Amino acid sequence: MKEEPDIIAVDAGSTDPGPYYLGSGKTLVPDSSVQRDLALLLKAQRKLGVPLVIGSAGGSGSKTHVDKTLDVLKRAAEHVGGQFRVKILYSDIEDGFFERILEEGRRTVDLGVGRSIREALRNPGIVVAQNGVEPVIEALKDNVDVVLAGRVVDIASFAALPWIQGFDKGLAVHMAKILECGAIAADPGSGADGLLGILRRDEFEVRPLNPERRTTVLSVAEHALYERSNPYKEVIPGGYADFRNATYEQVNTGVIVRGSRWVDAEKYMVKLEGSRPVGHRFVVIAGARDPLFISKITELFESTVKFVRDELGGNFTVYPRFYGWNGVLGSSEPMDKGHEVGVLFEVIAEDKNKAEAAAGLIRSTLLHMGWASRKTTAGNLAFPFSPSDIYAGLAYEWSLWHLVELEDPLETSKIDEVKLIG
């Protein structure tokens, strides 16, 4: 806070943990941890009187997550003392939106779920839009202390104020992408520290606030490889920041970046994220060290699952992972296989009893399965846990992972009136 920043920004969400959190409404981080952090942020906001912007609140940024975070924010405000003016931005898709875009024939793009948006909408579950910078800009117009936003792109919390003040959009987005990852772009890297960004008319500087770290030309430049398929672009709704002509200069513990530019998109499109339950999940974890068993593990597992399907019927799904045997990279693994293998499989079925029965029968069958030249008789697997078949609750899948064209950048957001808390 000695640096007296003009804004304090936090990107609080991600789809990295998968669809469970959006679909279930559970938050990724415990309330106690969130309250502790929010109290620190509110104290800093109160001291400087600058906006505090929180993006993708609760982890997935649905209304459930935003409302839960608001409750925690209220408790943190009571702890800090005084009142705070809060603007809340929701990103949930409201009734009528899908019918409208289908009737109007707006462009949609499937980003990987393997179904059209019309097919996905037969059972979409909980759906949010990953909104752009513009809704955050709109929320900041009322001179509020805190913006509590639902799902937005990672850079939105950091780029909104610079866009309002007329700074170069390309530089602002590039800087924001570095800041939202915190000290991951420092040396040594860390997800536990923040960075300070200083934006000027034709350049920006990023530097760590922890004296144990420094940003270097290498650490900042290589951050362009993080979380993107193209290291020269940071694509957000409305366009992208082009890094191809970016230059990096070392200054003490910081790095100055120049040359990033903004390119407008032909169409303003946002990503829709939908999550729906697909059934009950049981997980089994075991280990194997018999070299003959390991050499045949794929075919033995497949024959086990076939046997269990014949016994119980086929209305369940099995996902195996063999760690030490292409368990992480699958068929792309370049290294030799190990001398022991961790066997993990999950069974998902609409009926909980069916999932449990299938998991148990797969586990017991694989444990005692024999084959030609087998030498062991006691069992093929070692189990670290008892019970070995672990119920993991409802499983969720991404129902929607589509781009959709908007007529207005605010079309998929709802901004409430200012609330006073504390």
Query: Residues 304-321: pLDDT tens digits?
Result: 999 999 999 889 999 999
Read off the DSSP letter of residue 357: H
Region 202-212: mean pLDDT is 95
Joined tokens for residue 271: 């990503």
Residue 376 burial (CB < 10 Å; 0-12/13-18/19+)?
A: exposed
Give the angle 206-211-217 at the CA atoms, nearest 5°.
Answer: 35
CB-CB contact of 300 with 279 (8 Å)? no
Q: What is the dihedral sign for C-alpha 101, 103, 109, 110?
A: positive
Token duo for residue 290: 């018999």
Answer yes or no: is pLDDT of 326 > 80.
no
* Res 228: pLDDT: 84
Q: What is the average pLDDT across 213-230?
A: 93
For position 232, what pLDDT does the model report?
Answer: 94
The pLDDT of residue 337 is 67
Residue 227's pLDDT is 85
Helix (H, G, I), strand (E, B) or coil at 372: coil
Q: Where are the alpha helices (DSSP H) in 49-107?
A: 63-80, 97-103
Instruction: Report pLDDT for 191.
Output: 84
Q: What is the pLDDT of residue 89?
A: 97
pLDDT band at 65 (very low <50, low <70, confident <90, very high): very high
Mean pLDDT of the 272-292 span: 95
Query: Is the pLDDT at 51 greater than 70, yes or no?
Result: yes
> Which band of pLDDT confidence, cut at 50, 70 and 90, is reported for residue 373?
confident
